[in-house]
Amino acid sequence: MRNILTICQKEIKSYFVSPIAYALMAIYAIVSGFFTYVAVGYFLDRSIGAAAGRGGPMDVNEWVIRPVIMNVGVISLFLIPMITMRLFAEEKRSGTIELLITSPIRDYEIVVGKWLGALAMYACILSLTALNLGVLFMFGSPDWRPVATGFLGMLLQGGCLLSIGAFLSNTTKNQIMAGAMTFGVSLLMWTFDWFTGFKSDAWAKVLAYLSLTAHFEPFSKGVIDSKDVIFYVSVIVLGLFLTTRSLESLRWRA
Amino acid sequence: MIKVEGISKRYPGHTAVDNISFEVEKGQIVGFLGPNGAGKTTTMRILTCFMPPTSGTANVAGFDVLENPLEVKRRIGYLPETPPLYPEMEVAEYLTFVGKLKGLSGDNLKKRVAEVSEKCNVADVSQKLVSKLSKGYKQRVGLAQAIIHNPDVLILDEPTSGLDPKQIHETRDLIKGLAGEHTIILSTHILPEVEQICERVVIISSGKLVATDTMESLKNRMHGSAVIGVTVETPSESGLVQEKLERVAGVSRVILKETLEGGFAFEVESLQGRRVQADLARAVVEAGWNLTELRPVSLSLEEVFLQLTATEASA
Ligand SMILES: Nc1ncnc2c1ncn2[C@@H]1O[C@H](COP(=O)(O)OP(=O)(O)OP(=O)(O)O)[C@@H](O)[C@H]1O
Ligand SMILES: [Mg+2]
């Protein structure tokens, strides 16, 4: 446990001493701020119409919070490869992996420590969205539950992609390669359920089950379904397990 | 302390280390010598549990590298070929991080960071970013991280590469100072370095063990016979002097090395086990010449090394 924390601290620190953390946070602040602004603008426009008697009553949760949370899910597809690409690729390129592997710590401690560090970085970025949404609570009283579950969903989905990204970063010395592969896999997993639109055989069902969107949506509505949580947790565990195994096999090949 | 038994490391289509065995005793400094690509780094990586051997095994500080890697790692300090540094960390911060990885904590950790910084002469840059250090300082920080947990065994892959002559000297002294309490294996291309600091050498060439011996016996072994340098002051011709020396009992060969002003320098080879110095001296004096020098010539390690690795290559 101590070793995991040592590695995790070192990871967090290395994000924040380099420009990566600030660049990612700045980009995220602008993009998610824009999305929130658009959602709020749209909501205001519609609610003026609603007040004039067209359509039913308007709900902030339905019209602002949910779209914002869904959008964060999409932005994370772009963010996460940039967070994970350096995790192992950089250590392999610079040779510091030799220090980690020849230290008296276990492989899984290295992997989990790094993953937790990346998750902490991701959580820092997400907290900017919390600021955006906080404004809505200052001026109204939306239901807070979908916000809370939404964040849980974002963390779980992020954790999933981070664990896949960690694995891919361990397969190469090249950061750009690691990032590109992670982006490709994330994007595919995000869109897997498109299959069910025109196909309904077993394969389509499997792919739809693997779709991140399908598992994310309930969270944005304030619903925590154990089957979604199980899905995310299993992908995280599987990703970390594969990363640990590939760290082992790296030695047999190295 | 270290016992290597028949380790091999094979890559697809190529054997980097081929059935190497040797032993190192507690407190010894052993030089690991071999031309580029000989398999030094590979062997060291196996000893440090960075990677397992394809076959064979090694025992370090009482633990097997395959069965008990965690215990081996606790007792080993390793300086890889490229020092494993994080450029974004400050020196003291980096040493603290490594100390934690090696299991140190609290006051002891602080104390050790201060001690190794002092020992490796990096105390004055402890607040500097690693990325801002010169190559030599990076190497020293690498050495400092290797000894931070006071390991029983130190494995140093080319510890003096990239240093200036003064730093090389300091580093060698530092390594010599570490011997005794630590058992040290260091690899190098620099032969005088081995002569200066190592008690034993392990020479490998294209993955195979060529020789493992103490420095002295290695040099002797190269020449079954001893070589003696003889300088004679004489008005006579060189041929006459040479003939006279050759006639001394036990001398196998005399080579004229140099013609000096009023004299000659020879190298005299004797048969194995014969002490011919006294007879040589008497022969020279009896002939009425002056003997100005009589000393044993030892082969430089460079010559030994070339001879050993060359035979290996041509075999
Ligand atoms: N990952 C690898 N895959 C294939 N071959 C490798 C690999 N790593 C090393 N080798 C080969 O193994 C051999 C031994 O390499 P090693 O690095 O141990 O040599 P060395 O004695 O340390 O050389 P140097 O003095 O140049 O550092 C070399 O021929 C090298 O090309
Ligand atoms: Mg090497």
Q: What is the mean pLDDT of residues B133-144?
A: 91
* Pair (B204, B244) in one structural domain: no
What is the tens place of the pLDDT at every residue in B244-265?
888 888 888 888 888 888 889 9
- Asked if residue A212 lies in contact with residue A73, where contact means CB atoms within 8 angstroms, the answer is yes
Write the ipTM.
0.87
C-beta of B45 in contact with ligand 1 (< 6 A): no
From the alpha carbon of A254, which atom of ligand 1 is closest? Answer: 1
Q: What is A61-105 written as a DSSP string? A: IIIIIHHHHHHHHHHHHHHHHHHHTTTTHHHHHHSTHHHHHTSSS
Residue B312, pLDDT score? 46
The amino acid at residue B216 is E
Q: Which of B195, B221, B247 is the last residue of a domain?
A: B221
Does B195 share its domain with B248? no
Q: In terms of pTM, does the model score above 0.80?
A: yes
- Within a domain: B171: yes
Residue B119, domain CATH: 3.40.50.300
| Domain ranges within chain A, ordered by starting residue | 2-253
**Total CB pairs under 8 A between chain A and B:** 70
Name the residue range of residue B74's domain: 2-221
Higher-scoring residue by pLDDT: A169, B277: A169
The per-residue pLDDT for range A101-155, each reduced to its tens digit, is 999 999 999 999 999 999 999 999 988 888 877 877 777 777 778 888 888 999 9
pLDDT at B300: 63
**Are residues B118 and B265 part of one domain?**
no
Establish if B200 belongs to a structural domain.
yes
Label residue B288 left, alpha or beta by phi (over 0 means left) and psi (-120 to 50 means alpha).
left
- Locate the ligand 1 atom nearest the alpha carbon of residue A253 and give its number: 1
**Percent of chain B's residues with pLDDT above 70:** 91
Say how many domains are in chain B. 2
**Ligand having the closest approach to the CA of B204:** 1
Q: Ligand 2 centre from B221 Cα, in Å?
A: 27
Residue where one domain finishes, among candidates B221, B237, B255: B221
Does some domain include residue B90? yes
pLDDT band for B313, please (50, 70, 90 cuts).
very low
- Looking at the fold, whether B58 and B150 belong to one and the same domain comes out as yes
Q: Does residue B211 share a domain with residue B82?
A: yes
Q: Whose CA is nearest to atom 14 of ligand 1?
A: B39
CB contact (8 A) between residue B102 and residue A251: no
Q: Are residues B88 and B192 in the same domain?
A: yes
Residues B214 and B236 in one domain: no
Q: Where a domain ends, among B202, B221, B240?
A: B221
Distance from CA of A123 to the nearest CA of B (A): 22
In a domain, B134, yes or no: yes
Query: Are B65 and B165 in the same domain?
Result: yes
pLDDT higher than threshold 70 for residue B270:
yes
The number of residues in chain B equals: 315
DSSP chain B: -EEEEEEEEEETTEEEEEEEEEEE-TT-EEEEE--TTSSHHHHHHHHTTSS--SEEEEEETTEETTT-HHHHHHTEEEE-SS----TTSBHHHHHHHHHHHTT--HHHHHHHHHHHHHHTT-GGGTTSBGGGS-HHHHHHHHHHHHHTT--SEEEEESTTTT--HHHHHHHHHHHHHHBTTBEEEEEES-HHHHHHH-SEEEEEETTEEEEEEEHHHHHHHH-SS-EEEEEEE-SS-HHHHHHHHHTSTTEEEEEEEEEETTEEEEEEEE-TT---HHHHHHHHHHTT-EEEEEEEE---HHHHHHHHHHHHHH-
Same domain, B10 and B146: yes
Atom number of ligand 1 nearest to Cα B9: 12
Query: Is there a domain that residue B307 lies in?
Result: no
Confidence label for B315 from pLDDT (cuts 50, 70 and 90): very low
Residue B69's pLDDT is: 92
Start-to-end C-alpha separation, chain B: 32
Q: How far apart are CA B87 and CA A42, in angstroms?
A: 48
CATH code of residue B229: 3.30.70.3190
Chain B residues closer than 8 Å to A95 by CB? 80-84
Q: Are residues B177 and B42 in the same domain?
A: yes
Same domain, B171 and B110: yes
What does the mean pLDDT of chain B come to?
87
At residue B79, the pLDDT reads 96
Residue-wise pLDDT tens digits, B35-53? 888 899 999 999 999 999 9
What torsion do the CA atoms of B40, B46, B47, B50 make, to the nearest 10 degrees? 120
Residue B145: closest C-alpha in chain A: A99
- Considering the domain architecture, whether residues B107 and B245 belong to the same structural domain is answered as no
Q: Could you state, in chain order, the average pLDDT of each consecutive group of 10 residues for chain A (254 residues)?
A: 93 89 89 85 78 66 79 86 91 93 95 96 90 78 82 92 93 89 89 73 79 84 89 94 89 60
Classify residue B45: in a domain, yes or no.
yes
How far is residue B307's CA from residue B221's CA, in Å, rounded to a whole number? 12
A13, A97, A99, A107, best to mutate vs chain B, most B CBs in 10 Å: A99
Among candidate residues A187, A3, A164, A183, the one with its CA nearest the CA of residue A87: A164
> What digits encode the pLDDT tens for the residues A243-252?
999 988 876 6
Residue B173 domain flag: yes
Average pLDDT estimate for B58-67: 92
